[in-house]
Amino acid sequence: MDIFDSFIEVPGGRVFARQWRYASGAVDVAPIVLLHDSLGCVDLWRDFPQALAAVTGRNVVAYDRLGFGRSSERRARPSIDFIDEEAQGCFPAIQQALGLGRFSVFGHSVGGAMALRIAASQSEACQEVISESAQAFVEPRTLAGIRSAKTRFQDPEQLEKLARWHGEKAHWVLDAWTEVWLSPQFSPWSLDRHLREVRCPALVIHGDSDEYGSEAFPRRIASHVAGPVQLEILEHCGHVPHRERRDDVLRLTAAFLARGAQGEPEVALRAGSLASAVKAATSETA
């Protein structure tokens, strides 16, 4: 597996992208595009992308949204329409630059909402969508979790940790999350009208102890999407299943994508087994 880094011109600046690609023998199926959470970036996915590529046999792409990680800084706070803007403005530019005629999307937290929004607007190109801990509307538990996090980040050590990943953009990253979500103007937001336009297969993953959203989120998503849906509520799991229940998320995702690749059983078996694929990916990144 080869890893390629690049910068892509998008409206408003340049975004950093990383690809995990098989040098030879790659299965000709849609690559998986990862969409990070409100404080995330490519590096914070850690070894999950490589493990995901190994267990699914698909190429994987992740990118830093504008203002995050290694992408261009932003000065203005995101608008209350930032989820729509990512799906309709930035993502198509990345899609074109990387030649993604077909793709699948896997999004965590607000990245999950963006993934569903992308699936809704690109019904022909998006083959499958996986939402992990995605918000579907503005819930009191979400706002309480954000207020609690905002208080924690008043500790300079916590902000320094964020700066490890975002550098001088750390203050902007935190503000972009807390102030938009806590603004009264954002309170009516929901995915409802877009979920009805999601026609591709959807895998909806959520932890039963998610501090940023109740099970109302995944159940709303699963009940509203138009296409076939698989709902998975993980027990004793918080907001980051791909770290807290990593092997379960890899197993569920690999099986879900394999079912979508009808007539191509090698997708499911390419790594031999979940355990061997994860072990191989972890050893390569160690």
- 83 token code pair: 């989820």
Confidence (pLDDT) at 260: 74
Q: Could you tell me which of 246, 230, 185, 191 has the C-alpha nearest to residue 213?
A: 191
Confidence (pLDDT) at 261: 55
Per the CB < 8 A criterion, the answer to whether 203 and 131 are in contact is yes
Q: Report the pLDDT averaged over residues 248-272.
A: 66
Q: Convert the pLDDT of each residue in 31-74 to its tens digit.
A: 999 999 999 999 999 999 999 999 999 999 999 999 999 999 99
Q: What is the pTM of this model?
A: 0.91
Q: Convert the pLDDT of each residue in 180-235 to its tens digit.
A: 999 999 999 999 999 999 999 999 999 999 999 999 999 999 999 999 999 999 99
Q: Is the model's pLDDT at 272 over the cut of 70?
A: no
Residue 146, Cα to own-chain centre: how many angstroms? 19
Q: Is the model's pLDDT at 115 over the cut of 50?
A: yes
Confidence (pLDDT) at 282: 44
pLDDT above 70 as % of the chain? 89
Domain 2-137+191-285's class? Answer: alpha beta
Q: Report the pLDDT averaged over residues 158-168.
A: 96
